[in-house]
């Protein structure tokens, strides 16, 4: 036991002895597919659908045979006076001596006709459709969450590459400042400035790497995998084509597609249908119900003196008054139906707004990409000219440092613009009900 605890402590304290992590290389499309299949919300929605199907079987049981077997042994006596019979037996009085009774029988109950139970089955089947549509909505949300998590990780990865490039430029400027100082062209202030820029770039790189690691952990959580046991490597970069989906570019066509396939709207429509069927089932409770009852068994005062008995009955029941509970339940379903209609109307408007907003973001992001690309080109040119002036000794490296700052901002602007464009494409896919087709 002591050796075991020593090994555990060594595994914790010594990184080399820790459990090895499994590398997992994922493309953007693979991440979306993985989330739609194994993310925790998707699994929970599937279980909710299973529960709804189980409720269908429960409601259908009211229309299926109910068979019960029972047996008993009874030893008892009677006092006939307890039944109001004023008789006495000679030598016994009014007491009937104790006797045994053995009984074994099979009881069958079968509903022959019950409109209310039939419609309750239909209502529970409508609830299954509701959970299926809600499950599709959960899957769409899981796909969107995984896509955005992948984009954030890709943006963090791009930031790491940008900070590495910034560090390389800062190191080149530092080497140039050292050479200029040795040549007597510049002073120690330029060298100090260059060293400061190297330190700043190194600090920014540390922050960027931490953000990248954090983003990969968040991506693992969105995919439903263990972030400790798996190390995710991104197969796709933050390119201008990342986040494409099967969505029309025309707004009217995109809205039409969304209204036809958005699972939230289908789920609300299914809820309304279930409420209507439930109300119909409540109203059907006023109709006659027809049932069959059978009782078959053996009965006797001794095990060797058992006699067969049976009873078959067909019964009709007609509910007349239940304290107006049915009316109250029907009114409740009316309110549910009206609520569903209001929600459907609001959802249609929200779907149109989602599509319009996503298209606006997409157009804005495209303009931002073009501006960011131009800004980066100007920053590259500015840095090149500043380095030339510093090498020629006609200016200090303060111009180079300012150009470096412009370069950092320009690179970040390009990264942010590409991320915004990809996120807008993801939002458009989700608005149109096509998040599962993201690739």
* Domain ranges (residues) in the chain: 27-66+114-287+326-437
**Predicted TM-score (pTM) of this structure:** 0.80
Cα separations in angstroms, 314 against 290, 308, 318, 327, 423: 7, 21, 14, 29, 67
**Which one is predicted more confidently, 12 or 148?**
148
SS (H, E, C) 360-413: HHHHHHHHHHHHHHHHHHHHHHHHHHHHHHHHHCCCCCHHHHHHHHHHHHHHHH
Mean predicted confidence (pLDDT) in 346-372 = 93
Among 183, 200, 331, 349, smallest CA distance to 262 is for: 349
Q: How confident is the model at residue 269 (pLDDT cuts 50, 70, 90)?
A: very high
What is the reported pLDDT for 20? 55
| Per-residue model confidence as pLDDT tens digits over 172-230 | 888 888 887 887 767 788 788 888 888 998 999 999 999 999 999 999 999 988 888 77
Is the pLDDT assigned to residue 14 strictly greater than 70? Answer: no
Q: How confident is the model at residue 391 (pLDDT cuts 50, 70, 90)?
A: confident
CA 195 to chain CA centroid, nearest Å: 49
**Which one is predicted more confidently, 13 or 315?**
315
What is the reported pLDDT for 386? 84
Determine the 3-state secondary structure of 66 from DSSP: strand
Q: How confident is the model at residue 6 (pLDDT cuts 50, 70, 90)?
A: very low
Question: What percentage of the chain exceeds 90 in pLDDT?
Answer: 52
Mean pLDDT, the chain, whole residue set: 86
Alpha-carbon span 48 to 284, nearest angstrom = 28
Is the pLDDT assigned to residue 304 strictly greater than 50? Answer: yes
Mean predicted confidence (pLDDT) in 220-244 = 87
What is the reported pLDDT for 92? 60
- The answer regarding whether domain 27-66+114-287+326-437 maps to CATH 3.40.50.300 reads no
What is the reported pLDDT for 45? 92
Among 262, 247, 245, 238, smallest CA distance to 29 is for: 245
Tokens representing 316 are: 């009709």
Q: How confident is the model at residue 47 (pLDDT cuts 50, 70, 90)?
A: very high
Phi-psi region of 92 (alpha: psi -120 to 50; beta: other; left: phi over 0): alpha
Is the pLDDT assigned to residue 347 strictly greater than 90? Answer: yes
Is the pLDDT assigned to residue 8 strictly greater than 70? Answer: no
Q: How confident is the model at residue 93 (pLDDT cuts 50, 70, 90)?
A: low
Tokens representing 246 are: 């099967």
């Amino acid at each position: 036991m002591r050796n075991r605890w020593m090994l555990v402590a060594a595994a914790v304290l010594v990184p080399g002895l820790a459990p090895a992590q499994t590398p997992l290389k994922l493309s953007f499309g693979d991440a979306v597919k993985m989330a739609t299949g194994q993310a925790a919300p998707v699994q929970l929605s599937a279980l909710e659908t299973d529960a709804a199907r189980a409720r269908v079987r429960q409601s259908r049981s009211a229309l299926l045979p109910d068979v019960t077997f029972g047996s008993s042994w009874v030893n008892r006596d009677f006092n006939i006076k307890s039944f109001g019979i004023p008789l006495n037996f000679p030598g016994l009085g009014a007491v009937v001596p104790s006797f045994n009774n053995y009984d074994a029988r099979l009881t069958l109950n079968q509903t022959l006709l019950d409109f209310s139970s039939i419609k309750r089955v239909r209502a529970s089947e409508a609830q299954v459709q509701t959970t299926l549509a809600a499950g599709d909505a959960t899957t769409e949300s899981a796909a969107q969450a995984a896509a955005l998590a992948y984009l954030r990780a890709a943006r963090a990865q791009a930031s790491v590459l940008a900070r590495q490039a910034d560090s390389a430029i800062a190191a080149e400027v530092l080497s140039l400042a050292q050479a200029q100082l040795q040549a007597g062209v510049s002073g120690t202030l330029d060298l100090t400035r260059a060293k400061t820029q190297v330190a700043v770039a190194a600090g920014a790189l540390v922050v960027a790497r931490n953000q990248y690691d954090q983003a990969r952990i968040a991506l693992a959580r969105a995919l439903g995998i263990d972030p400790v046991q798996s190390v995710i490597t991104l197969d796709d970069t933050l390119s201008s084509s990342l986040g494409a989906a099967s969505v029309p570019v025309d707004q009217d066509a995109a809205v039409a597609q969304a209204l036809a396939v958005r699972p939230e709207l289908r789920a609300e429509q299914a809820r309304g249908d279930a409420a209507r069927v439930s109300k119909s089932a409540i109203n059907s409770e006023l109709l006659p119900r027809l049932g069959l009852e059978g009782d078959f068994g053996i009965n006797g005062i001794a095990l060797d003196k058992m006699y067969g008995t049976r009873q078959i009955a067909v019964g009709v029941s007609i509910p007349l008054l239940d304290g107006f509970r049915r009316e109250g339940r029907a009114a409740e379903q009316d309110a549910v139906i009206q609520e569903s209609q209001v929600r459907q109307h609001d959802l249609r408007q929200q779907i149109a707004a989602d599509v319009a907003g996503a298209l606006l973001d997409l157009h804005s992001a495209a303009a931002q990409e073009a501006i960011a690309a131009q800004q980066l080109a100007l920053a590259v040119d500015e840095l090149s000219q500043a380095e030339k002036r510093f090498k020629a000794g006609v200016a200090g490296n303060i111009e180079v440092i300012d150009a470096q700052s412009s370069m950092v901002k320009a690179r970040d602007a390009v990264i942010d613009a590409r991320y915004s464009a990809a996120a807008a494409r993801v939002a458009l896919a989700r608005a149109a009900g096509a998040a599962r087709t993201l690739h």
